[in-house]
Amino acid sequence: MSKIKSLIKNLRPMGQCAVITGASSGLGMEFARQLAAQGIFLVLTGRNEKALAALAEEIGVSDCVVIPADLSKVRECIDFYGKAKKYKPDILINNAGFGLYGSFTAASLSKELELIDVNIKAMHVLFKLFLRDFVKQDRGYILNVGSIAGFMPGPLMAAYYSSKAYVIRQTQAVYTELRRIKSNVNVSVLCPGPVDTDFNRRAGITGFFKGITAKQCVSCALSEMRKKKLTITPTLKITAIAVMSRFSPVKLTSYCAYLVQKGKQRIEE
Ligand SMILES: NC(=O)c1ccc[n+]([C@@H]2O[C@H](COP(=O)([O-])OP(=O)(O)OC[C@H]3O[C@@H](n4cnc5c(N)ncnc54)[C@H](OP(=O)(O)O)[C@@H]3O)[C@@H](O)[C@H]2O)c1
């Protein structure tokens, strides 16, 4: 009887299934809304169970499943993968991440290590585990969420910028590996500039530039992902910055990034 129950629990409607990390807020929540509107079954994760439950209620509890996890712990990443794969996903939105403000000598080491755990390690673990399944089934999309920050050094936010460089390079390398084996699986990396979400508040800072909406960013990301674009920059301005950063002297780019970060104000929680 319990076997039948667990079989029923793991059944999902026919069609596509997307796993979304960081679904409890900001971009992840918007990915959930837009993919649900396309009739895609969702596996949602994050730590904030209340926010995830409210999102599931909004989307429809039969159209998604919530599996809470703290992705800063590798064990929880692997357990989450084990539970999520039962739904046979064919899309992974590898989105969970956060920023940290402060000079390298001042920033908290434990917070930086947590950032590396979420932005790099969890991204890496889930990317690899889901990709292995997608390659076996020879279909699927993985969208890793990087940032324009990954194209340059980021004084006063060094760990965050460096973590996003990892996301970009890892995705670009795997993209080529997949093309060489003629796989139908596609990987993309989304590199937004500022987006209006909880990102700045969590990083303890105010924004410097006005952000685009999560809706605008996600609708561009999903449409470019379907076109199998490798590196996705959601606005012309951000595309221009990405191109310029490739050709400018690194000390100049780093100084410009410093000025932007210096212009931000700290906010107390
Ligand atoms: N907003 C921007 O300006 C911007 C620009 C470029 C790139 N990005 C990237 O976009 C992604 C989404 O950020 P956002 O802007 O939507 O910010 P957000 O509103 O703060 O959302 C961050 C998400 O990451 C999840 N997360 C953080 N730590 C986690 C952990 N230990 N375990 C599980 N989930 C965790 C959070 O879930 P819980 O709190 O429930 O755990 C939350 O759902 C991030 O990777 C960020 O670096 C954002």
Q: Determine the average pLDDT of the residues in 207-218.
A: 92
Phi and psi torsions of 9, nearest 5°? -60, -35
131 lines ligand 1 (CB under 6 A): no
Query: Which ranges in the chain belong to alpha helices (H)?
Result: 2-9, 26-37, 49-59, 74-84, 109-115, 123-137, 158-180, 199-203, 214-226, 236-247, 250-262
Mutate to test the pocket of ligand 1, among 30, 33, 47 (most ligand atoms within 8 A of CB): 47
pLDDT score of 269? 56
Q: In the prediction, which pLDDT does 15 show?
A: 84
> Per-residue pLDDT tens for 160-193?
999 999 999 999 999 999 999 999 999 999 999 9
Pocket lining: 234 vs ligand 1, CB cutoff 6 Å: no
Give the whole-angstrom CA distance, residue 150 versus residue 135.
26
The arithmetic mean of pLDDT across residues 217-239, rounded, is 97
pLDDT reported for residue 90: 97
Nearest residue by C-alpha to atom 8 in ligand 1: 147
pLDDT cut 90: percent of the chain above it: 89
Tell me which CATH code domain 14-262 carries: 3.40.50.720
Ligand 1 mean position to 115 CA, how many Å? 11
pLDDT tier, 2 (very low <50, low <70, confident <90, very high otherwise): low
